[in-house]
A = this chain, B = another copy of it.
Amino acid sequence: MNEHYVRNVVEAALLAAGRPLNVDELIALFDERDAASAEEVRAAVTALASDYETRGIELKEVAGGFRIQIRESFAPPVSRLWQERPAKYSRALLETLALVAYRQPITRGEIEQIRGVSVNPNIIKTLQERNWVRVVGHRDVPGRPELLGTTRDFLDYFGLKRLDDLPTLAQLKELDDLRVQLSLPGAEPVAPPAAPPEAADEGSPADTAAPEAQELVERDASDVAG
């Protein structure tokens, strides 16, 4: 048997099978005229394995036989295939973040006082996990509540050099409609690098919902049109 042919058949079968194949199963792929021996099949497997050494896949021998699988070091990028669609942060989270930024160091209780509603502990947790907010101390009152402040990552994410680049409250007050007035002194409201394009329309729920709906519509259309 032609060595390349055996290797190609073995590779195609391993990729098509969806399960591990043992040597006997691999031999059985070849009919009498093109019979391949166990040695030839094993040689093909070895050749494939070394062929894959520089690749994102590898040939592994497992209980059921040989299997082509994704190399573990390639699991992170490949796993992105199943990544969850990024959700949107709630208004409560954004308000909390803004209050921490403008009034730091600030306790949760003080945030609640200003917002007039209790702050879900998950919001603080999310902001801490994102490494935008951290505990910078404790206030000297009963319960010694945590004082929250923003981080370097927070400034980096929003493209700020320092907190001062945020508009002052007076400036904010003058900006009747941030949705229209886009350029703020010192702080360019530029979307972070990976921000989705719809961000420019942020704030209007109808607009924010649109991209998904749009995509659905497009998919529908492509389904029909082929």
Could you tell me which A residues sit within 8 Å of B by CB distance? 4, 8-9, 11-13, 15-17, 21, 25, 28-32, 34, 54-57, 63, 68, 70-71, 74, 76-78, 80-81, 83, 104-105, 134, 136, 149-152, 155, 160-164, 193-194, 222-226
Contacts and interface: CB of A to CB of B under 8 A. Distances in A.
B136 A63 contact: no
Contact of A13 (B77, B151, B155, B225): B77
A226 B63 contact: yes
A25 B28 CA distance: 37
Contacts of A11: 55-57
Tell me which of A9, A16, A34, A162 has the highest count of chain B C-beta atoms within 10 A of its own C-beta.
A16
A52 to B, nearest CB: 10
A73 B30 CA distance: 14
Contact of A16 (B9, B78, B164): B78
Contacts of A225: 162-163
B155 A226 contact: yes
Nearest to A11: B56
B56 A8 contact: yes
Contacts of A12: 55-57, 70-71, 74, 77-78
B160 A15 contact: no
A209 to B, nearest CB: 21
